[in-house]
Amino acid sequence: MAFLFKQTTLTQLPKLPLSAQDVCTLHHTVEFRQQLLSAIASAQQRIYITALYLEHDEAGEEILQALFDAKQRCPSLDIKVLVDWHRAQRGRIGENKQHCNARWYAEQAIKHPVDVPVYGIPVQTRELFGVLHLKGFIVDQTVIYSGASINNVYLHKLDKYRFDRYHIIINAALADTLVDYINEQFLNNPAIFRLDQAAPSTRSIRKEIRHFREQLTHSQYRQPSTLQASSDELAISPIVGIGKRNLLNRVILDLIAGAQRSLFICTPYFNFPRSVLLAVNRALKRGVEIDIVIGDKTANDFYIPPEQPFRVIGALPYLYEMNLRRFSKRQRQYINNGQLRIHLWKDGDNTFHLKGLWSDQRYMLLTGNNLNPRAFRLDMENALLIHDPQAELQQQNQLEQKHILQHTKLLRHYRELEEVSAYPEQIKKLLTRLSRVRIDRMLNFML
């Protein structure tokens, strides 16, 4: 039954024709930054940037300045930057609110003679209950897609990087579809305000935000009906989702449920929703070979070395490792026979942020979705699903997977992962206390 449902969902998705030569996979964070800056510098028509945040640091300054320079060079250029409303108006964890990105946007707007609007998108009344997690930078007819936001580590501006996936897709219809959605759903909505100008408080627009979220739950990308790819050709489908049982969630589950030979799954936080976990377990029982790539707990962006001051947020990587240890223990028979391969990524002090999956090498999902309960229920997510029935991108996919696995270690037994008793004392006490009152379950759901 799951296979039939998978066929219905995936085959009924509108698909845009795609040429293999118009898809390029980048393997290094520095390449991503260079390509983004190059595209901005040569833009002639439009630049639309959607990201969780555009940070006030060296990389953020470089990107924002490039946008101002592009507008000054070509005054008719349509530039719009969209970031999460809540994230932009607070400092980074542990910082004072006075250092928030929104204040910096406003300062830069005053300093420059041209207009580069930065919009705050509130998908919930509180950040804890949902953020803008849409991905994709559209420059003219090109879509630069990555799970990365914009700051020093995501763009490898200084000494450290956060490893992600990076794809460049030249497709006018895809670019138009993404831009049209932004203009139709976000701009001119009474819940949307510019952050580079004076903006109202969240409290004063709570009613508008609730209506906005309700509107988003019924929204989808609208592709031109005249450009429908056949089931036998290389094609791409943009997908957007927010809230329970949305289309993107269903597509992810159907990709797993429909796999007959292989699955290759990337996630930065091992915290699968129950529905994903059940689908993975069923795939193992069907005999599907599964690779799961996840960051080592020390490569998690929330990890705090024991020698640094303790903060509660630093318990998250250990919580995810606990999840992984339980899963590995339950599925040890598949690990032992080589059907399930869990790869732990670690490269010095750098961090891991990859998402997405391949199903039978026939489908490839590019997404910012973390494959966790928060992504499945709270955040606004999108994805690009590539359908490759003739294996035209097979070599490119294999090279990407090889590069992803370059700094990984294969987990051969669940005991290779630390037990709670081996964790730093403060982490151990916190997790033990949380488990007693089952708050760890709530944290898994929220984070």
CATH number of the CATH domain containing 92:
3.30.870.10
Residue tagged active-site, from 57, 84, 164, 440: 164
Distance (Å, whole) CA 188 – CA 210: 16
Instruction: Let me know whether 303 and 203 are in one domain.
Output: no
Strand, helix or coil at 101? helix
* Contacts of residue 87, Cβ cutoff 8 Å, sequence gap at least 6: 52, 53, 101, 127, 131
List, edge to edge, every strand of the sheet that includes 78-84.
Answer: 23-26, 166-170, 142-146, 137-139, 46-50, 78-84, 118-121, 193-194
Phi, psi of 348 (to 5 degrees): 60, -135
Instruction: Let me know whether 159 and 244 are in one domain.
Output: no
The amino acid occupying position 394 is Q
Residue tagged active-site, from 156, 167, 343, 353: 353
Instruction: Let me know whether 166 and 241 are in one domain.
Output: no
Domain boundary among 217, 249, 284: 217
Domain-located, residue 223: no
Computed from CA positions of residues 68, 70, 75, 77, in that sequence, does the dihedral angle turn out positive or negative? negative
Distance (Å, whole) CA 437 – CA 435: 5
Rg (CA), the chain: 21
Annotation marks residue 343 as catalytic:
no
Instruction: Let me know whether 284 and 378 are in one domain.
Output: yes
Nearest CA to 366 among 261, 179, 236?
Answer: 236
Distance (Å, whole) CA 326 – CA 322: 6
Residue 434 pLDDT: 77
369 and 134 in contact (C-beta within 8 Å)? no
- What residues are paired with 47 via a beta bridge? 79, 139
Phi-psi sector, 438: left (phi>0), alpha (psi -120 to 50), beta: left
Domain-located, residue 242: yes
- pLDDT per position in the chain (447 positions), as tens? 344 444 568 888 999 999 999 999 999 999 999 999 999 999 999 999 999 999 999 999 999 999 999 999 999 999 999 999 999 998 765 455 567 999 999 999 999 999 999 999 999 999 999 999 999 999 999 999 999 999 999 999 999 999 999 999 999 999 999 999 999 999 989 999 999 999 999 999 999 999 999 999 999 999 988 889 998 999 999 999 999 889 999 999 999 999 999 999 999 999 999 999 999 999 999 999 999 999 999 999 999 999 999 898 999 999 999 999 999 999 999 999 999 999 999 999 999 999 999 999 899 999 999 999 999 999 999 999 999 999 999 999 999 999 999 999 999 999 999 999 999 999 988 888 877 655 555 555 555
Instruction: Let me know whether 209 and 313 are in one domain.
Output: no
Q: What's the pTM? A: 0.94
Strand, helix or coil at 327? helix
Domain-located, residue 80: yes
Q: How far is CA 387 from CA 18, 20, 321, in A?
A: 9, 11, 33
Domain-located, residue 13: no
What's the CA dihedral at 18, 24, 29, 33 to 10 degrees? -80
Domain-located, residue 9: no
Residue 333 pLDDT: 98
Residue range(s) defining the domain that contains residue 434 = 235-446
Domain-located, residue 283: yes
Strand, helix or coil at 179? helix
Annotation marks residue 164 as catalytic:
yes
Number of domains in the chain: 2
Instruction: Let me know whether 35 and 164 are in one domain.
Output: yes
Distance (Å, whole) CA 190 – CA 183: 13
* Contacts of residue 354, Cβ cutoff 8 Å, sequence gap at least 6: 147, 163, 164, 165, 266, 267, 268, 293, 345, 404
Instruction: Let me know whether 334 and 425 are in one domain.
Output: yes
Instruction: Let me know whether 167 and 40 are in one domain.
Output: yes
Phi-psi sector, 440: left (phi>0), alpha (psi -120 to 50), beta: alpha
- What residues are paired with 49 via a beta bridge? 81, 137
Distance (Å, whole) CA 372 – CA 244: 12
Nearest CA to 259 among 281, 232, 237?
Answer: 281
Residue 91 pLDDT: 72
Domain boundary among 174, 189, 217: 217
Distance (Å, whole) CA 49 – CA 51: 7
Other CB atoms within 10 Å distance of the CB of residue 111: 8
Instruction: Let me know whether 339 and 206 are in one domain.
Output: no
Instruction: Let me know whether 168 and 262 are in one domain.
Output: no
List of E strands, 122-234: 132-133, 137-139, 142-146, 162-163, 166-170, 193-194
- What residues are paired with 411 via a beta bridge? 342
Helix or strand run (H / E) with residue 383: strand 380-387
* Contacts of residue 199, Cβ cutoff 8 Å, sequence gap at least 6: 102, 120, 193
* Contacts of residue 80, Cβ cutoff 8 Å, sequence gap at least 6: 47, 48, 49, 117, 119, 182, 187
The amino acid occupying position 446 is M
Phi, psi of 164 (to 5 degrees): -140, -175
Domain-located, residue 6: no
Residue 9 pLDDT: 80
Domain boundary among 158, 189, 217: 217
The amino acid occupying position 95 is E
| Residue 64 token pair | 């924002």
Annotation marks residue 218 as catalytic:
no
| Residue 440 token pair | 């760890």
Residue 96 pLDDT: 52
Instruction: Let me know whether 200 and 248 are in one domain.
Output: no
| Residue 232 token pair | 């036998």
| Residue 61 token pair | 């300054």
Domain-located, residue 135: yes
Instruction: Let me know whether 198 and 255 are in one domain.
Output: no
Residue tagged active-site, from 86, 133, 156, 343: 133
Annotation marks residue 353 as catalytic:
yes
